[in-house]
Amino acid sequence: MQASNDTRPSPEALISKFEVTRLLKQDQNSRRIVLLGTIGSQQAILTAERTAFATESLAALQAFQSAITRVNNLGDNDIYRWYLASSGIDTDGHPSHDLKLNLIWPCTEQHIKKYSDQTVRMVTETPAIYRDYVRPYMQAKREEGRLNWVFNILEGRTEQEDVILRDEGENGAGKEDAFLMLPDLNWDRKTLGSLHLLALVQRRDIWSLRDLKKRHVPWLKYLRRRVLEGTVKMYPDLEIDQLKLYVHYQPTYYHFHIHIVNVMLEAGATQATGKAFGLENLISQLETISGDEDASMADVDLTYYLGEASELWTGIFGPLKKGKKPAIEK
């Protein structure tokens, strides 16, 4: 059980209490490291990422140092917390926020597997595999309470100060079409070159792109238009053709959401083929798919990659490759 809100440390205090156990992962550009550790008696995962470097002057470049000198909590929701931190003094003598920190505490074994370096495999998920094994897996994960942090946002309990756009649907249609948009926890909220936003839909019947049907095309087009309009209104230095919209499969959590990023953002693994599916391409595929209005993305093969430590690989695709019966069934 988690401690009550009255006895839990403040978000800022948690960083100093984090004790490193081992390195889970370091990216190729050495801008991000993922550490496993403990806070008290519980495991935690700390992701440290250097934000985009200030390059407007030689003095700004020289101001960079390696030691964290100040931690500023940007927000927290359920087990997730994110921060800006300082590793030096800028040319005006003020602490410079040049590190982005994400903290998951307490973390689960599944978190540890997700953030650990691992071999990945390309898999093809047929409609039958989705129906018989993957869909039941999704349902089980939803029933475990993994979406509490999403529902906290949608129901107005947390992160309301971060909401950039709250749309009630076309002509105020209500929750069927409604969505809200807010910064992704991996964005530092100031560097437009690395802009990363999320659009969370209010409806709960669409868990992933697999649930999208031909009849959803008008809604998806409305979402696209309003997301783009809302982003450039909030950040007027950006234009619509500087934005990229995509959906993950497999997603990190099974509640439909759209990623909005600056097209100049370095395309890492989360934007790679086998992970990111462009929203415009999805709309086009649904428009041209054969069948009536209920024809859907559940009716097509999808090829994507999985880490060997993921439950989908160990429980479904690994056994199928060996000709064995998957452990996850309907």
Q: Dump pLDDT digits (tens) for 276-329.
A: 999 999 999 999 999 999 999 999 999 999 999 999 999 999 999 999 999 765
Q: Among all residues, which ones are annotated catalytic?
A: 257
Q: How far apart are CA 151 and CA 100, in angstroms?
A: 25
**Structure pTM?**
0.76
Q: What's the chain's length in residues?
A: 330
Q: What integer pLDDT is reported at residue 274 of this predicted model?
A: 84
> Is 31 buried (19+), middle (13-18) or exposed (0-12) by CB count in 10 A?
middle
Question: What whole-number distance in Å separates Cα of residue 105 and Cα of residue 40?
Answer: 10
Cis status, amide bond into 106, omega within 30 of 0: yes
Please name the helix (run of DSSP H) or strand (run of DSSP E) that holds residue 198, with its range, or none. strand 196-201
CATH classification of 118-322, choosing from 3.30.70.1400, 3.30.428.10, 3.40.50.920, 1.10.10.10? Answer: 3.30.428.10
Does domain 11-102 match CATH 3.40.640.10?
Answer: no
Q: Give, to the nearest 10 degrees, the angle between helix 217-234 and helix 279-288.
A: 160
Using one digit for the tens of pLDDT, what is the confidence trace for 32-84?
788 999 999 999 999 988 665 455 566 644 444 334 557 788 777 778 888 87
Domain range list for the chain: 11-102, 118-322
Instruction: Tell me if 11-102 shares its fold with 118-322.
Output: no
